[in-house]
């Protein structure tokens, strides 16, 4: 799918493609890391149900498994509901400032790093490429309702 052109003075098709690639890799890495966390949680919970209470560390393994499941599900949810529609689709539409505003928000970065170190690093690299396109200027906030 060809990228839409931007009205930005610093628009470079090669940089736009690199930004799109980094954000796409972030999207894939968040889904993979979240799925691996959920699988680890299932493994931990199955271990607790079969052997954990016999060995005496069942409660901690159960808490760890539930925590891993929650973080993994939240990481996949964030990838599907933030990275894809609010960053990748905006880059495809040529709305680089809106994509930059979402990718540079602290909450998106924190969730990416909690989901895994690789998605967090990829998000930072994609954000740097979006900074080159937009000049570091985020879209202004919407007026109060």
Domain edges within the chain: 13-134
User: 109-131 as b/e, with b when 16 or more CB fall inside 10 Å?
Assistant: bebbebbbebbbbbbbbbbebbb
Residue 120 has pLDDT above 90, yes or no: yes
Q: Measured in whole angstroms, how far is the alpha carbon of residue 122 from the centre of its chain?
A: 9
Residue 1 has pLDDT above 70, yes or no: no
- Whole-model pTM? 0.81
Please tell me the predicted confidence (pLDDT) of residue 46.
86
Structure confidence by residue, pLDDT tens digits, 14-69? 988 999 999 999 999 999 999 999 999 998 888 888 776 666 667 778 888 899 99
**Per-residue 3-state assignment (H helix, E strand, C coil) for 95-144:** CHHHHHHHHCCHHHHHHHHHHCHHHHHHHHHHHHHHHHHHCCCCCCCCCC
The arithmetic mean of pLDDT across residues 4-18, rounded, is: 72
Q: At what angle do helices 106-115 and 117-134 cross, to 10 degrees?
A: 150
Structure confidence by residue, pLDDT tens digits, 85-115? 999 999 999 888 889 989 988 888 999 999 9
Picking from 14, 6, 30, the residue whose alpha carbon sits closest to that of residue 120 is: 30
Q: How confident is the model at residue 9 (pLDDT cuts 50, 70, 90)?
A: low
Please tell me the predicted confidence (pLDDT) of residue 69.
94
């Amino acid at each position: 799918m060809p990228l839409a052109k931007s009205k930005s003075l610093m628009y470079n098709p090669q940089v736009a493609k690199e930004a799109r690639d980094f954000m796409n890799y972030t999207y894939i890495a968040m889904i993979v890391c979240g799925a691996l966390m959920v699988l680890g949680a299932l493994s931990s919970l199955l271990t607790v149900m079969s052997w954990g209470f016999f060995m005496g560390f069942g409660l901690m393994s159960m808490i760890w498994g539930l925590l891993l499941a929650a973080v993994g599900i939240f990481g996949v949810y964030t990838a599907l509901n933030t990275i894809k529609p609010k960053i990748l689709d905006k880059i495809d539409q040529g709305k680089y400032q809106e994509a930059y505003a979402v990718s540079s928000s602290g909450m998106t970065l924190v969730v990416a790093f909690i989901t895994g170190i690789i998605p967090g690093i990829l998000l930072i690299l994609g954000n740097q490429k979006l900074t080159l396109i937009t000049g570091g200027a985020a879209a202004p906030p919407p007026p109060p309702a």
